[in-house]
Amino acid sequence: MQLARTAFAALAFALVLSSAAVAEDCALSPTGNGAIFFHPDGTSAGHWDAMRLLHYGPDGNSNWDRMPRMAAYRGHLTDRLSSTSNAGASIHATGTPTWSGAFGQDQSGAKLRAADGSDRTLMQQAVACGLGTALIQTGTLIEPGTAVFVANANNRYADAESIALQVVESGVDLLLGAGEEWLLPQGVSGRFGPGRRSDGRNLIEQARERGYAVVYTREELFALDDDAIRVLGVFAAEDTYNDVAEEALREHGLPNYLDTAPTIAEMTEFAVPRIAANPRGFLAVIEEEGTDNFCNRQNASGCLEALKRADDAIGWILGFIERNPRSFVLMASDSNAGGMQIIDVDDAGIAVPEREARGGAMLDGRDGTATLPFLSAPDRNGKRFPFAIAWAVGDDVGSGVIARAAGHDADVLLPGNMLVNTDVYRALYFQLFGKVIRPVPVPQ
């Protein structure tokens, strides 16, 4: 116990020293509170219901169910009703309404102004003010749900090299995710494969020169010393999951997730206590991207595994908040991946048909198309129920997203009626800096 206290004190002292160097660029007054934005991408009420039935049963409660605050999420953009990942993240990061192609830029190519009137995203303000910071991602580090908090680009795909560079140079303390391919130059092979950068830059070596410890596996991550406060985790060439159809995974003998990569719960467990030691406060932006990608590939098995992994992370976060009452978590996706719904089937021993008889929706069983149905966990009487997954589309739709919250001032920061996408920034900003930011008018 004495050793743990000594390590914690050393970590806190190191954080004070590192934050003092950047806080001179801060025009705000940090509250010392902690904020977590958890973004299980693509999830809706239907997704969480299916995961609950499979893992906890009809009468059980998931960790998602345990979060005390709930509101309907409104995710429309300035040019369409349903969101895109890059535009939703741009709004979460800045509090400014924007268009579907935005990656931190407006339609003229200018960097989005944040709702506080500055040219900094919420994470950039946190870095400038010396808070503890983390970006945590199961997909590539250039995935917009986290990357837009520190990067801007004209096009999320064409500008992958620039986005990766901005992420590595962001000053964020802990960068955990995948995407090795965009961190290495062409002609250089890394732990997982060849690099794709055309500019010749080796961002992994650059990160080491900036004082980051670089790790590639779960074991390497948890083998780091307790006082490691700058870490770059690179856990796969592209993503930590294989987001293709169940049939393709079977054909190639691939799992849903890489065995060597840490789960979203494990990355969260590693990162949050370290940045929470910072006396100025902390901000963690965390994304489970598998919930979006598997569901949009209409892979029910992968989608449900991703949802359970996200729920495990929620469980850890809720425990952390109970122990750290000045911390707040806000959770929301920005769209509904695949329009996922459960559908009852009569016989657990008969393969699910390829399509629903009346409406023609695509159906999935436990191993993909035309396989046996899923079985729910037992209800209070021990009964299990067979069910299939029905898909509305192979892309995102805009309805059914639910925001959840817990912790410090959650009853104020997440009203019970609704949460507009711009409110994510405003709630987190108030928690970190104690200032009420008024909504930005929608551009004409």
DSSP code, position 287: E
**Residue-range definition of the domain harbouring residue 166:** 2-23+33-337+402-433
- Lay out the sheet containing 231-234: strands in order across: 213-215, 231-234, 174-178, 132-140, 282-288, 34-40, 327-331, 402-407, 69-74, 418-420
CA distances from 139 to 96, 293, 306, 389 (A): 25, 9, 12, 24
Q: For residue 73, what are the contacts with CB-CB under 8 A and spacing of at least 6?
A: 332, 333, 334, 401, 402, 403, 418, 419, 420, 421
Task: Examine the domain organization and report whether 361 and 410 are in the same domain.
Answer: no
State the virtual CA torsion across 122, 128, 129, 135 in degrees, nearest 10.
50
Residue 106: other Cβ atoms inside 10 A: 18
> What integer pLDDT is reported at residue 402 of this predicted model?
98
> What integer pLDDT is reported at residue 292 of this predicted model?
98
* CB 234, CB 221: distance < 8 Å: no
Task: Examine the domain organization and report whether 120 and 46 are in the same domain.
Answer: yes
Which residues on neighbouring strands pair with residue 383, listed in sequence order?
none
Amino acid at position 209, single letter: E
Task: Examine the domain organization and report whether 206 and 232 are in the same domain.
Answer: yes
Q: What are phi and psi of 128, to 5 degrees?
A: -60, -30
Q: Which residues of the chain carry a pLDDT beneath 50?
A: 3-5, 7-8
Task: Examine the domain organization and report whether 120 and 259 are in the same domain.
Answer: yes
Give burial (CB, 10 Å; 0-12/13-18/19+) of 45.
Answer: middle
Q: For residue 142, what are the contacts with CB-CB under 8 A and spacing of at least 6?
A: 151, 156, 160, 163, 164, 167, 179, 182
Question: Using CA atoms, how far apart are residues 364 and 148, in angstroms rounded to an integer?
Answer: 33
Whether the CA torsion 417, 281, 94, 284 is positive or negative: it is negative
State the CATH number of the domain containing residue 185. 3.40.720.10
Task: Examine the domain organization and report whether 233 and 311 are in the same domain.
Answer: yes
> What integer pLDDT is reported at residue 387 of this predicted model?
99
Question: Using CA atoms, how far apart are residues 122 and 428, in angstroms rounded to an integer?
Answer: 8
Residue 55: inside a domain, yes or no? yes
Residue 385: inside a domain, yes or no? yes
Strands 231-234 and 282-288: unpaired
* CB 338, CB 391: distance < 8 Å: yes
**In three state form, how does the secondary structure of 155-195 look?**
CCCCCHHHHHHHHHCCCCCEEEEECHHHCCECCCECCCCEC
Whether the CA torsion 423, 428, 431, 432 is positive or negative: it is negative
Task: Examine the domain organization and report whether 333 and 346 are in the same domain.
Answer: no
Residue 442: inside a domain, yes or no? no
Task: Examine the domain organization and report whether 325 and 370 are in the same domain.
Answer: no
**What is the number of structural domains in the chain?**
2
Task: Examine the domain organization and report whether 259 and 369 are in the same domain.
Answer: no
Question: Using CA atoms, how far apart are residues 204 and 379, in angstroms rounded to an integer?
Answer: 49
Task: Examine the domain organization and report whether 329 and 357 are in the same domain.
Answer: no
Residue 396: inside a domain, yes or no? no
Question: Using CA atoms, how far apart are residues 169 and 206, in angstroms rounded to an integer?
Answer: 9
Which two structure tokens, joined as six digits, stand for 185? 């130059």
Task: Examine the domain organization and report whether 97 and 66 are in the same domain.
Answer: yes
Task: Examine the domain organization and report whether 247 and 361 are in the same domain.
Answer: no
* CB 329, CB 405: distance < 8 Å: yes
Question: Using CA atoms, how far apart are residues 312 and 403, in angstroms rounded to an integer?
Answer: 17
What's the number of CA atoms in the CB half-sphere (13 Å) around residue 302? Answer: 31
SS3 7: helix
State the virtual CA torsion across 95, 73, 52, 318 in degrees, nearest 10.
40
Strands 213-215 and 231-234: parallel
Which residues on neighbouring strands pair with residue 363, listed in sequence order?
390
Residue 305: inside a domain, yes or no? yes
Residue 397: inside a domain, yes or no? no
Nearest to 366 by CA among 383, 352, 377: 352
Question: Using CA atoms, how far apart are residues 263 and 74, in angstroms rounded to an integer?
Answer: 29
Task: Examine the domain organization and report whether 274 and 384 are in the same domain.
Answer: no
- Helix-then-strand count for the chain, H and E: 15, 16
Q: Where are the beta strands (DSSP E) in 322-407?
A: 327-331, 336-337, 341-344, 362-364, 374-375, 386-391, 396-397, 402-407
Residue 443: inside a domain, yes or no? no
> What integer pLDDT is reported at residue 416 of this predicted model?
84
SS3 303: helix
Residue 200: inside a domain, yes or no? yes
